[in-house]
Amino acid sequence: MKKKVSLKDIAQEAGVSVALVSYVLTNKEEKARVGQEMAKKIRKIARKLNYQPNHIARSLKSGRSDTIGLIVADISNPFFANIARTIEDEAKRNNYTVIFGSSDENADKAGDLINVLLNRQVDGLILIPTEGSEQQIKQLKKQNVPFVLIDRYFPGISASHICINNYESAYNAVSHLIKTGHKQIGMVAYKTALHHINERKRGYTEALSDHDKLSKTSGMKLARYSHLKEDIRLAVDQLLQGRKPADAVFFATNSLAIEGLKYINELGLRVPEDLAVVSFDESEAFDLFYSPVTYVRQPILDMGKAAVRVLLDQIKDADKPAELVCIDTELVIRKSCGNP
């Protein structure tokens, strides 16, 4: 790369001091100190030479960069991509720019990204943490970095977070399957230690036991994130086997449901006649499915807004205690569970 144009280069060409150039280029309004003509001349030279102000040097001094770092778990998942979009819109409204990274559900990569973003002087972080990233969160707390978790959190670590009521949302979704007359209700979830998924599992199990349905674990199937496709095929096969095959399935996320529905189509099963379906999260694919899928709508817009608000509060006052925001979901009832 060519050498960057410096204030010195401009000063030389204008025949003035570096201090004067700096003054003119960092003050938008003309003040009495500099003649208008001279200010104009300096600006013109800066444009001609393609001068780029060094914001890093400036932010090292001021300690503020008006930039937020965002780390999502997987940018190719529309749920996270939509959260990113919402956070960006809301940050923009507050005159912050967002730069982000995607950890691909990998704790090491998440750690690298945290370092990369902090080293680029973001004022704070919004994180969708991955499984196994507890130490990173603890470390951020120790370093007193302003940050907010969204979607996921760790119950053992006190930190600001934005979440939904996963237990209750799952409980309601499964209750809807019961109300619509289903007797053998399976669930497909991720094999993970992440709290929010386990809360969804708990919602499923308790809804069944509260309604005197079978609450045995045989109805709960787990898929690995790394082997999604094959594990879901196996899970659906297992649910449909045996003396009492499933007449309904609750999918714990949109990715699980989409793979599941593809396989259900392949098997030639009709939804809801052969198998009723309810899922967490929204998806364009759910809307276009011949039997539009009943789903737990997460309040993505409100979650993104809350994350930005809480983070900006933390940035303004680093000693502010952790703030927890829990937002209600909505069960959007469509055709995939049949009629009550």
Which residues contact a second copy by CB under 8 A?
1-2, 50, 52-57, 60, 63, 67, 74-78, 81-82, 84-85, 88-89, 92, 97-102, 104, 109, 112-113, 115-121, 139, 142-146, 258, 261-262, 265, 283-285, 287-290, 318
Distances (CA, A) of 211 to 10, 132, 202, 243, 318: 77, 35, 14, 21, 47
Instruction: Provide the residue type at 26 as one letter.
Output: T
Give 184 or 291: the residue with its C-beta nearer to a second copy: 291
Give 36 or 95: the residue with its C-beta nearer to a second copy: 95
In angstroms, give the least distance from the CB of 55 to a second copy. Answer: 4
In angstroms, give the least distance from the CB of 233 to a second copy. Answer: 15
Are the CB atoms for 254 and 283 separated by under 8 Å?
yes
In angstroms, give the least distance from the CB of 244 to a second copy. Answer: 28
Give 2 or 28: the residue with its C-beta nearer to a second copy: 2
In angstroms, give the least distance from the CB of 337 to a second copy. Answer: 17
- Phi/psi at 82 (5° precision): -70, -35
Give 65 or 184: the residue with its C-beta nearer to a second copy: 65
Q: Which of 137, 166, 141 is nearest to 151 (CA)?
A: 166
Are the CB atoms for 188 and 246 separated by under 8 Å?
no
In angstroms, give the least distance from the CB of 58 to a second copy. Answer: 9
Are the CB atoms for 325 and 162 separated by under 8 Å?
yes
Which regions of 63-207 does DSSP assign to beta strands (E)? Answer: 67-72, 97-102, 124-127, 147-150, 161-164, 185-190
Give 5 or 234: the residue with its C-beta nearer to a second copy: 5
Cα–Cα distance measured from residue 47 to residue 50, given in angstroms and rounded to the nearest whole number: 5
Give 63 or 340: the residue with its C-beta nearer to a second copy: 63
In angstroms, give the least distance from the CB of 75 to a second copy. Answer: 5
